[in-house]
Amino acid sequence: MSDAEKIYKAIFKGSIPPSIEEKYQKVFEVLAAGFSEVCVEEYKTAVEDIHDIEALELAGRFRKKLPLLVHAFEIMVYIAETVPGNQSEFINYKTRKIFGFLSMTYGGCRSTVKFLKGLFLLRKIKNV
């Protein structure tokens, strides 16, 4: 599984459309060229060795670690939000306030668990 597939699956829980993967690879090559070899190696280790890279990215963003992984997630979101099929991931269509509140509460709890897991996973990567 490629890096793009892993990142897309972590964010959207589905398989990546070929058009998004192609665009992502082009942008990522330019992005990675601007980072040191150490950052690129940390990124490769994270994507290859860690199963829950979403949790790792969340903790890395907060702790200002793994900048290439954080930027890779940002790029994927920017590219994927242009696809009409992903619109439901970005817009909450719940019409009742209670459903909106429950959705926000679930998201907050899920993010907290992912963050704590990510902090633990950061320790598994050397040099971070």
pTM over 0.85: no
Q: Does residue 32 fall inside a structural domain?
A: yes
Q: Which domain holds residue 109?
A: 3-122
Percent of the chain clearing pLDDT 90 (strictly above) = 56
pLDDT digits (tens, 9 = 90+) for 59-80: 999 999 999 999 999 999 999 8
Contact 6, 72 (CB under 8 A): no
Q: Is residue 49 part of a domain?
A: yes
Measured distance CA(121)–CA(110) in Å, rounded: 16
Provide the number of structural domains found in the chain. Answer: 1
In a domain, 127, yes or no: no
Q: Convert the pLDDT of each residue in 34-53 to its tens digit.
A: 999 999 999 998 898 888 99
Residue 75 is assigned to a structural domain of this protein: yes
